[in-house]
Structure 1
């Protein structure tokens, strides 16, 4: 699929430059991806998240927990200001598609935010204060230092989904999913029933 996209871009550039009028890929479609959605991006494991949290700075810990416990996307976590903390909940004002939602905090998250707030707690200021690129590079470096596989920032959100998978409605509400079918993916990652049954054959 990547090769096809590159070839189409090349011919588009050639047509723009007046070198050719050909458009050989105009009636082609990309092959359907047969990889199941839950096999593409795996969530972080509990031990990986705990290893990362074991000895990190206050700012790093706050970011990790916003994503791993709050289930926030990187862009949502970075957009949060101290004023968005409303008791034991977070007001996500600019979520995916510009939608807002209210996210209930885990028992651990407020403590981490309070500790970081003592260092940097200006109400109008962003809690983390970084670009998405900088945040992802920071997480990549932290995982490398912890000798754990880096699966991207979104894998923290998947981790939150797997923790709540037993009640799909709760997981969907926590993660802000419009369709519960999206949430069912998280159940696939932790569903061991088929594997356990086959193991007893």
Structure 2
């Protein structure tokens, strides 16, 4: 069965979901015995494309989000399944009859390579999903990841992957073009995930009222986000050039519909454009999350309220904000205690 790649960077999300539904039906339309036969054959042949396809079909059919599973999640699970299968090949692991220690062996091998526990957990989630898909298809009863344990990483997320500094952002914003400037401020001031920024539509931006509406948040949750003064000005400058009726035409370069703010929807394309600004500024580009962490850390320093910061960043749990996105200075109480 040929593998169909999700298209997070092309067309509209509706097309992606349609492709995901079509892929799922390639498996769910089969009679139970044929479904089992194809899954068994894919495992016996170590057919990576077919096994990734089966996992994706299971994820979009029986997963928590179904066909609304994000392109990012689908791609991440695909990578994780491929990595597990590559390891299983080198260790001559029987995919349908793995030994009871194989799941933990996989974890230990990744840790021995120096992989961070968080990354190992992501790969285990993908491999575990592969086995749920194989059980769903009736190909095996094996549960090699049922009792697997990944060590907890005691190093705080802000220490492992710190936010950008004020000076770094200043230097990049000094040389960034209007597009890179808007991208950076949407993450570093608006606190948006890059997928949320790239999905924005013009009607969702109100720079006059200094607010925007996120309709493609994690778990499909919408939220209203307040804009900083700098972000509102960046939106205004970008709209003058590239908004409806703007002075510059981008339709010939678009891979998205004209009502979308950005002409591309692929995070890798955004990484390329923003990375150029960082390179010119002489600042190391460490991805988009350090921008969100900057927003969380700076906002927490002002409002001293993890709940409000979590709402700004779109976190369902305050613990997520506390563990990896915002922290108060270690001497935060110094001023409060000064008069004691």
TM-score, structure 1 length as denominator?
0.81
Which position in structure 1 is the counterpart of 2:219?
Answer: 97
Which position in structure 2 is the counterpart of 1:80?
Answer: 200
Which position in structure 2 is the counterpart of 1:171?
Answer: 309
Please point out which of 155, 165, 170 is paired with 1:35: 155
Please point out which of 277, 283, 287 is paired with 1:142: 277
Which position in structure 1 is the counterpart of 2:241?
Answer: 119
User: How far does residue 40 in structure 1 lie from its aligned partner after superposition?
Assistant: 2.2
Please point out which of 128, 134, 145 is paired with 2:262: 128
User: How far does residue 81 in structure 1 lie from its aligned partner after superposition?
Assistant: 1.1
Whether the 8 Å CA contact 1:70–1:104 is kept in 2: the answer is yes
Q: How many angstroms apart in 2 are the aligned matches of 1:83 and 1:15?
A: 53
| Greater helix share, structure number | 2
Q: 2:94 matched to 1:15?
A: yes
Q: How many angstroms apart in 2 are the aligned matches of 1:173 and 1:162?
A: 13
Q: How many angstroms apart in 2 are the aligned matches of 1:117 and 1:187?
A: 31
Please point out which of 72, 97, 109 is paired with 2:231: 109
Q: Which moved more, 1:144-153 or 1:68-77?
A: 144-153
Are residues 14 and 80 of structure 1, via their aligned partners in 2, closer, same or farther at CA, if it must alter by over 3 Å? Answer: same
Q: How many angstroms apart in 2 are the aligned matches of 1:65 and 1:122?
A: 21
Whether the 8 Å CA contact 1:42–1:158 is kept in 2: the answer is yes
Higher relative contact order (CA 8 A, sep 6+): 1
Q: CA RMSD in A?
A: 2.6
Q: What is the CA deviation profile of residues 105-144 of structure 1, one whole-angstrom value per residue up to 9, with x for unaligned ones?
A: 1111111111111111129522123211111222223222
Whether the 8 Å CA contact 1:52–1:142 is kept in 2: the answer is yes
Consecutive unaligned residues in structure 1, runs of 5 or more: 197-201
User: How far does residue 28 in structure 1 lie from its aligned partner after superposition?
Assistant: 4.7
Which position in structure 2 is the counterpart of 1:53?
Answer: 173
Q: How many angstroms apart in 2 are the aligned matches of 1:85 and 1:28?
A: 45
